[in-house]
Structure 1
Amino acid sequence: MVKTAVQAKFERNLAQYRFFNTQETVVLAVSTGIDSMVLLELFLRLPPKRRPKILVAHVNHELRDQSVQEEQFIRSFCDQHHLDLEVTHWAKAKHPASGIEEAARSFRYHFFATLLQQKHARILVTAHQANDQAETMLMKLVRGGQVAQLAGIANQRKFKDGYLIRPLLNVSRTEIAQFAHENKIKWFEDETNTDLSIQRNRFRQGIIPNLQTENPAVVDHLIDYQRQLVELIDFADNQLRGIVKQVNNVKRQLNLDLYQQLEQTTKRLVLSYWLEKVQLVTNLSQAQLGEMEQLLDNRNKPQTRLKLNDQLELIKQYQYAWVVKIGPADISTAIIPATVLKLNHWYSSSVHESIGIFAPNGELDKQKDCQVNIMWLPSKAFPLQLRRWQAGDVIALKNGHHQQVRRVLIDQKLNNAQRQDQLVITDQQGNVIWLVGRKFAWWERPLDYQDKWQQVAFVRRFIRGE
């Protein structure tokens, strides 16, 4: 038997995968349309020493009366050729009222994944061909999005624990039809292919034929563009992977100091790559990327956050940025009422720390995991209170000066959550004595303060984890 051009192209494509041996089980998705029946025939024509074990997978979508004939046909075909066959039905009762194409696709691929697992197979093969690729590229071009999406359908990709391959992706519909007619291959024409309410059919029946009147080789040119685009994307990915590795820390946070040193064009590419590959954020628009660029570049807003969608949020805190899932508000950030502090009592300030005021004694200094600060206070300062800081709070400095608590927190580079949880101890007039863990106020003492004032110890006790 003379090997045809289609057969030679098919076998060259298969050779690049290097997956097959005679002991390998390969699942072939066969709808009984012309593309999948040609794919099946090409596998049957492989030399015995190169032909894997073939498992035909067929889905009866129960969308039209012809589905019954198609199932009977593929059963008979597999019997005649001694092929293993698995058939499943997508019951009409499970058909959705809308979005039926996507639902059908989801059902098919779930079935294929199940078969791979059950049969201990690694390879799924589909019959997508060059015109499918051209249609996909043009639809994505019209729809808009990321440039990488114009690469269309990959000739192979990871699928569950194995691979999905498409060995006809550079074979045109015309070549496939010619091969089918010359070899008297029987197939069924899907009646829905003429339904112009389906976008792909409008491209298939109208837009691409019109383009072919301008240039009959338009599909070949689109496939060539696709190959070039894939090569450029692969090259860019390799370059970006190295840059992102440098600007991304072990916590998967973007180091903004390093990021800002990049050229403007590189920054956008790095940001897009970091979001998709590191933070696993996809389907962002160019407008969203532009908004993020402005946010990360804005030095006047060292801390801010940007909602990306209903589930994710970008957080910027000083020199780092990262993406988090949006969850219910943390109740620990709720404003608590002021608490009057009793002498020699501990108060929990966080899960890792307790604080209190104590009568000074030598035993305090001997306690492990404690930080002790001694201070003299006038009697009018008592009772002391513990509360969260407020917008108008200031802390007294030497020489009668004051500093806003907000400025202290900014200077110490606390993030928004830390700021919101920051505690202060005040006197009974509301003056800040201790910005807990950060800074003490300055008190001007009279000459006889030791006779009239009270000495107290402000203590932080650190609680070690298990």
Structure 2
Amino acid sequence: MLERAFQNEMRRHQFWPAGAKVIVATSTGVDSMVLLTLLQRLPTALKPQLIVAHVNHELRAESVAEEAYLRQFCLENDLALQVAHWPFKQHPQTGIEAAAREFRYQFFERLMTAEKAAYLVTAHHGDDQLETLMMKFIRSGELHEMRGIQSQRPFANGMLIRPLLPFAKQDLRDFAVANNITSFEDQTNYETTVLRNRVRHTLTPFLKQENGQILQNANRFSQQLTAVLAQQAQLTTALLPLLDLKTTDKVVSGQLKAVKTLPAAQQTAIWQLVINQHFAHIGPLKEAQLQQLHQLVQSMTKPQGQLALGQGVVFTKVYERFQIGQLTGDEGVSKAEKSRTLTLNQWCTLPNNEQIGIFEINHLPRKLSGQQLIWLADEQWPIVVKPCQLTDAIMIDKTHHKTLKRLFIDLKVPQEKRQNSWGVWTQGTLIGHPEFRVSALFNHEQTGKIRYVLCYANE
């Protein structure tokens, strides 16, 4: 019965053309040995050219006998075999299961390239699907993580195919017994220290007892959720122009005004898509991060703010704009930087790539971003440029002063500029910054003082 059902699945899906090279991941466990046998028995119109791929992880003493058996099996059945060893000295102290999987799939990828094979087949079955979904639900329940195992997906230069997903583990065992298929049981599959084993031996039997169709339900859920998420991604992509995205190597920036009017679910989808496209290495955002991000974006009382997204990536809100970027550890201006002395009629380039200078009227530079007239006495030189503190004060008229923090808030100066602001000073008194404000002590004609132009350029 299993063999006929398997062949019907192969006809229905047409995973590969007849005679195509197919790499079969084979561990000598009952699942992979049954898969290999089923592939061998396919009719000519469906049968591929098989290349058996085996990884000896050198984790168990039995692996020597398992490799030897598979070599003899392939020899007797005229099957091509490729074996890779994962040397014991390369085994990590922790995370060995994930490291072993990474080694396997790197080997499979290399083999597909070397053999010019476009298909890799693994023996994942319906019980694996149910176990995977239950584990993901236990660990997080995050929607984007609940898609389960796909029957086929892109891998390396071709496709990864799992043709046994419609079938139960017991179906494979029964077929192995009926056809005298030799296989090896990994005893670590019974160790209760591993979550998958606990799910396999306690939760899965209970679910099967409650509903005999639970494996079919698991596969259907995975397929439908995958389709829904794909549709959501397509619709969300159509909304991306609302952000007016600008990208560089390390930073993505854009507008918030339009996206803030969207329903929360669509906002969530947009941010997940932006992260996936530009910062995939940090993975999808967690629910708690998405809630914090939504609160920051929507907040009317917090026009500026930052949110850490993980692995040094930070979301920054500056009024109606946002920026997502990787912190490098050297961004921002150190407040301990030494001051720079200004030379008349020359630019002074700051660490943040801004330029500030004091020029005579007939020596003004051609390209300016901002300028302010100032009056200085000879004894007020030298003039220096140095980092500002938010508590520094500037005179806004003859009798009143204002801290830079308050001034920046009033002028809606972006947070980054507040943190990286340099000011022009004379003898401990803040003259100002030509982009923002010049102190009332220096911004009008005064007896005994000479008129200059305080200039600023940000390019």
Judge same fold: TM > 0.5, yes or no. Answer: yes
Q: CA deviation at 1:254?
A: 4.8
Q: Does 1:272 align with 2:263?
A: no
- Contact (CA 8 Å) 1:70, 1:188: kept in 2 or not? yes
Counterpart position of 1:6: 5
Q: CA deviation at 1:419?
A: 2.3
Distance in 1 (CA, whole Å) between partners of 2:184 and 2:2 is 25
- Contact (CA 8 Å) 2:275, 2:284: kept in 1 or not? no
Q: Does 1:322 align with 2:323?
A: yes
Q: CA deviation at 1:282?
A: 1.5
TM-score by length of 1: 0.85
User: Deviation digits for residues 88-122 of structure 1, max 9, x if unmatched?
Assistant: 22233433444332232222112112212222222
Report the count of equivalent residues: 452
Distance in 2 (CA, whole Å) between partners of 1:459 and 1:430 is 15
Q: Give 1:386's aligned amino acid.
A: V
Which residue, out of 440, 451, 454, partners 1:456? 451
SS at match of 1:456: strand
Counterpart position of 1:436: 434
* 1:231-250 to 2 correspondences below 5 Å: 231-247=227-243, 249-250=245-246
Q: CA deviation at 1:407?
A: 4.4
Distance in 1 (CA, whole Å) between partners of 2:180 and 2:32 is 14
Counterpart position of 2:366: 368
Counterpart position of 1:415: 414
Q: Give 1:421's aligned amino acid.
A: N
Distance in 2 (CA, whole Å) between partners of 1:78 and 1:353 is 69
CA distance 1:334–1:388, shift in 2 (3 Å): closer
CA distance 1:148–1:427, shift in 2 (3 Å): closer
Distance in 2 (CA, whole Å) between partners of 1:339 and 1:156 is 62
- Contact (CA 8 Å) 1:357, 1:456: kept in 2 or not? no
* 1:76-155 to 2 correspondences below 5 Å: 76-155=72-151
User: Deviation digits for residues 317-358 of structure 1, max 9, x if unmatched?
Assistant: 222333322322336443444555454554334575544334
User: Deviation digits for residues 217-264 of structure 1, max 9, x if unmatched?
Assistant: 222222222233223222222222222343351324353211210123
Q: CA deviation at 1:395?
A: 4.2
Distance in 2 (CA, whole Å) between partners of 1:206 and 1:322 is 47
CA distance 1:211–1:462, shift in 2 (3 Å): closer
Distance in 1 (CA, whole Å) between partners of 2:134 and 2:357 is 69
Which residue, out of 176, 185, 193, partners 1:180? 176
Distance in 1 (CA, whole Å) between partners of 2:124 and 2:189 is 15
Distance in 1 (CA, whole Å) between partners of 2:317 and 2:274 is 14
* 1:251-400 to 2 correspondences below 5 Å: 251=247, 252-280=252-280, 281-282=282-283, 284-330=285-331, 332-339=333-340, 341-344=342-345, 346-349=347-350, 354-361=355-362, 364-365=363-364, 368-369=366-367, 374-377=373-376, 381-397=380-396
- Contact (CA 8 Å) 1:6, 1:179: kept in 2 or not? no
Q: Give 2:262's aligned amino acid.
A: L
Distance in 2 (CA, whole Å) between partners of 1:311 and 1:373 is 38
Q: Does 1:58 align with 2:54?
A: yes
Q: CA deviation at 1:126?
A: 0.4
Q: CA deviation at 1:165?
A: 1.3
Q: Give 2:263's aligned amino acid.
A: E
- Contact (CA 8 Å) 1:341, 1:357: kept in 2 or not? yes
Q: CA deviation at 1:380?
A: 6.4
SS at match of 1:457: strand
Q: Which moved more, 1:378-387 or 1:78-87?
A: 378-387
SS at match of 2:72: helix
Distance in 2 (CA, whole Å) between partners of 1:445 and 1:246 is 45
CA distance 1:48–1:348, shift in 2 (3 Å): same
SS at match of 1:357: strand
- Contact (CA 8 Å) 2:340, 2:385: kept in 1 or not? yes
User: Deviation digits for residues 72-103 of structure 1, max 9, x if unmatched?
Assistant: 22112211222110012223343344433223
- Contact (CA 8 Å) 2:360, 2:453: kept in 1 or not? no
Gaps of 5+ in 1: none
Q: Give 1:222's aligned amino acid.
A: A
Counterpart position of 1:164: 160
Q: CA deviation at 1:140?
A: 1.1
SS at match of 1:253: strand
CA distance 1:347–1:7, shift in 2 (3 Å): closer
- Contact (CA 8 Å) 2:10, 2:46: kept in 1 or not? no
- Contact (CA 8 Å) 1:356, 1:460: kept in 2 or not? yes
CA distance 1:245–1:172, shift in 2 (3 Å): farther
User: Deviation digits for residues 348-402 of structure 1, max 9, x if unmatched?
Assistant: 34575544334544xx25x533677554445665554433333344444568665
Distance in 2 (CA, whole Å) between partners of 1:108 and 1:76 is 22
- Of the two, which has the highest radius of gyration? 1
SS at match of 2:28: coil
User: Deviation digits for residues 409-435 of structure 1, max 9, x if unmatched?
Assistant: 345543333223323224446142x41
Q: Which moved more, 1:343-352 or 1:236-245?
A: 343-352
Distance in 2 (CA, whole Å) between partners of 1:162 and 1:349 is 51
Distance in 2 (CA, whole Å) between partners of 1:461 and 1:148 is 48
Distance in 1 (CA, whole Å) between partners of 2:38 and 2:100 is 26
Gaps of 5+ in 2: none
Q: CA deviation at 1:27?
A: 0.9
Q: Give 1:209's aligned amino acid.
A: P
